[in-house]
Amino acid sequence: MSLFIFLTVIQALVAAALVGVVLMQRSEGGGLGIGSSPGGAFGARGAADFLTRTTKWLAVAFVTLSILLAAMAARENSVGTVTTTLDRNAPGAAAPAKPDLLADPVVPAPAAPPPAQPAPAAPAKQ
């Protein structure tokens, strides 16, 4: 498995975790905040501090992975790989024919109409 795919999967997991942590935080209007006892390390204040720190580090990881993946994608799609596909324009190779855009287009001749069938003779009256 390539490093690029591995980092893309890690970024997807970080993004999902970031969405989950943001949704667990208590908004000013109450929102989807977690319900727990107000005292202790994970009370209202402790949980808010933990979720805020977690959000910050997940956001840092997401932005860092995004920059790293963008740099890797730019390096993989550099000019060197594009020019290798243009071997037909290499020195010594025959130049590709350029179409003459001002020339009349080739129009096929119409097909000859089918030969006319003689009309059937009317039956003789007696």
Query: Over the stretch 45-82, which tens digit does the pLDDT of each residue have?
Result: 666 788 889 999 999 999 999 999 999 988 877 655 55
From 90-94, 104-108, 121-125, the region with the lowest mean pLDDT: 90-94
Buried b (16+ CB within 10 A) or exposed e, 7-18: eeeebeebeeeb
DSSP collapsed to 3 states, 50-93: HHHHHHHHHHHHHHHHHHHHHHHHHHHCCHHHHHHHHHHHCCCC
**Structure confidence at residue 100 (pLDDT):** 62
Q: Which two tokens stand for residue 39?
A: 């005292």
pLDDT, residue 121, reads: 72
The domain segmentation of the chain, as residue ranges, is 1-25+45-76
Read off the pLDDT band of 101 (50, 70, 90): low
Residue 36 confidence class, pLDDT cut points 50, 70, 90? very low
| Sign of the alpha-carbon torsion through 47, 49, 55, 58 | negative
Cα-only R_g, the chain? 37
